[in-house]
Amino acid sequence: MKHVAELEGKKVLVLGLAKSGVAAAEILHELGAYVTVNDAKPFEENIEARKLLEKGITVICGHHPADLLDNGFQLVVKNPGIPYQNTIIQQAISREIPIWTEIELAFRISEANFIGITGSNGKTTTTTLLFHILNQANKHPLIAGNIGTVASSVAKDASKENVIVTELSSFQLMGIETFAPKIAIWTNIYEAHLDYHQSMEEYVEAKFAVTRNQIETDYVIYNADQETIVTKINQSKAIPVPFSLKNEQPNGIWADEENVYWKNEFFMERSKIALPGDHNMENVLSAIAAAMLLECEEEKIKHVLGSFTGVKHRTQFVREWRKRRIYNDSKATNTLATRSALRAFHRPTILIAGGLDRQHSFDELTDSLQHVKALLCFGETKERLADFGKLHQIPTVKMVENVQEAVKEAAAMSTEEDVILLSPACASWDQYPNFELRGDDFIDAVMKLSDEEAIEGM
């Protein structure tokens, strides 16, 4: 860990704990800062705060005092989930007190270079895939950010031999000053998180922060099929490396229906890539580009691409059962994500969907239903989804009570070569605390399907 002299003796407020706040508080304390943590959870219920107090860190819990900033703080490190409209954050802005997320701290203390990966969709898959490629290629990668361990904790123990592959949200990127990854990846941009960001323009600007501080010897890999990104990337100083599924990219990476090309040279056949769908192909292209820039051996890249079947709950191949292929896409909590999943398949598909009813429209699915032979609906939205399915003449539409029942029904009505796909298009909170538990319930039901010839997936 680098010693950051400017933090020694500085009065720092860590606002909001959770994993990132705890890690930031401990590191700042170790660097010689005078740290105060403020968290809404009452002290008697706050295990993290009690541990920090034992280390000599000042702790204020249970509320956010209106006069908190009167204590002369010179820096605020906030939890990414705290919006900038928060009263204390607004006070800090008016007093011109710098506001970081712990990603900025991670960058300042790190001996290792960063790869920063952001976008509306595909961050986790790209991060995980690239980590596996770099690991196979002996590049000593570490994984951090929204996936894996808190970035500042990873950076603390990283050496110059490592490279830190970091998934970054717009929330995290809004809190940087100097953060500049050696390689930045911007997967895509869609309207999202406008309850946090005040406008689409602010959201785009937050994503652009992944490359804002890069210099002429850095690289930015970006989606050349999205005009918003292309326009914004022109403001970056980094070497641009575009990826595309639509057009040739002589200075980047692209794919047609059959093959992948790196700088207009044949790289590999698409049929040898395990991840299905165009949305995943975007993730694959950006991961290949980063790996090639880091001089990974092509054969090792191809080996990982041939075996990597996805991140859990994200179009995850679960199992082949009686020649049916079964996928868990529980992370699809909106219609856009479900549309991408449906477009990944061309076989007859049984779609399992439903969940929390936010009264959103399912119309975005309309042009992706041609190969859906059956729709099984569960949760609060089951009646609306059933009406939608009948309106669009899906041959079989049935309402069920839960995911376990849906799996049994799907197995019973399926035939050889079918795809059975859980892609709910809805949040999970009507029946499950989170999409992970919903996906686990699905996997459990799928693995209970009995057949001597069943082949378990990865």
Question: Quick one: pLDDT at residue 348?
Answer: 96
CA dihedral sign, ordered 142, 145, 146, 149: positive
Joined together, the tokens standing for residue 55 give: 């280390």
Question: Quick one: pLDDT at residue 343?
Answer: 87
| Sequence-separated (6 or more) residues with CB below 8 Å from residue 349 | 342, 371, 372, 373, 418, 419, 420, 421
Residue 201 or 381, more confident: 381
Pairing of strands 11-15, 34-39: parallel
Q: How confident is the model at residue 457 (pLDDT cuts 50, 70, 90)?
A: very low
Instruction: Please report, to the nearest 10 degrees, the dihedral formed by the alpha carbons of residues 146, 148, 152, 156 taken in order.
Output: -160
Q: With 50 as the cut, is the pLDDT of residue 365 above it?
A: yes
Question: Quick one: pLDDT at residue 454?
Answer: 41
Strand order in the sheet with 349-354: 396-399, 372-378, 349-354, 419-422, 324-328, 316-321, 455-456
- 209 burial (CB, 10 Å; 0-12 / 13-18 / 19+) is buried
Q: How confident is the model at residue 455 (pLDDT cuts 50, 70, 90)?
A: very low
H or E segment and range at residue 183: strand 183-186
3-class secondary structure, 265: strand
| Sequence-separated (6 or more) residues with CB below 8 Å from residue 22 | 48, 51, 52
Rounded to an integer, what distance in angstroms lies between the CA atom of residue 207 and that of residue 222?
A: 11
Question: Quick one: pLDDT at residue 84?
Answer: 87
Judged by phi (left if over 0) then psi (alpha if -120 to 50, else beta), residue 394 lies in beta
Give strand pairing partners of 35: 12
The predicted model gives 23-34 an average pLDDT of: 96
The predicted model gives 126-138 an average pLDDT of: 95
3-class secondary structure, 271: helix
For the annotated binding site for ATP, the residues are 119-125
**Integer Rg of the chain from CA:** 23
Q: With 70 as the cut, is the pLDDT of residue 251 above it?
A: yes
Q: Which domains does the chain have, with CATH numbers?
A: 9-100 (3.40.50.720), 106-307 (3.40.1190.10), 316-449 (3.90.190.20)
For the annotated binding site, the residues are 119-125
Taking alpha carbons only, the member of 349, 353, 374 closest to residue 364 is 353
Model confidence pLDDT, tens digit, residues 290-323: 999 999 999 999 999 998 987 788 888 898 899 9
Residue that the structure tokens 């002996």 belong to: 138
Question: Quick one: pLDDT at residue 196?
Answer: 59
Q: With 70 as the cut, is the pLDDT of residue 456 above it?
A: no
Model confidence pLDDT, tens digit, residues 48-98: 999 999 999 999 999 889 899 999 999 999 988 888 889 999 999 999 999
Question: Quick one: pLDDT at residue 451?
Answer: 60
For residue 343, which phi and psi values (nearest 5 degrees)? -70, -10
Question: Quick one: pLDDT at residue 458?
Answer: 35
Model confidence pLDDT, tens digit, residues 387-436: 999 999 999 999 999 999 999 999 999 999 999 999 999 999 999 999 99
Joined together, the tokens standing for residue 260 give: 């992948």
Q: With 80 as the cut, is the pLDDT of residue 148 above it?
A: no
Q: Output the furthest CA–CA distance in the chain (Å, rounded).
A: 70
Rounded to an integer, what distance in angstroms lies between the CA atom of residue 425 and that of residue 346?
A: 19
How distant, in Å, are the alpha carbons of 144, 212, 388 from that of 399? 40, 49, 12
The predicted model gives 105-118 an average pLDDT of: 97
Question: Quick one: pLDDT at residue 227?
Answer: 95
Q: What is the pTM of this model?
A: 0.78
- Cα 281 from chain centroid (whole Å): 16
Residue that the structure tokens 């041939």 belong to: 306
Model confidence pLDDT, tens digit, residues 167-215: 998 889 988 999 999 999 999 998 655 565 568 888 999 999 999 999 9
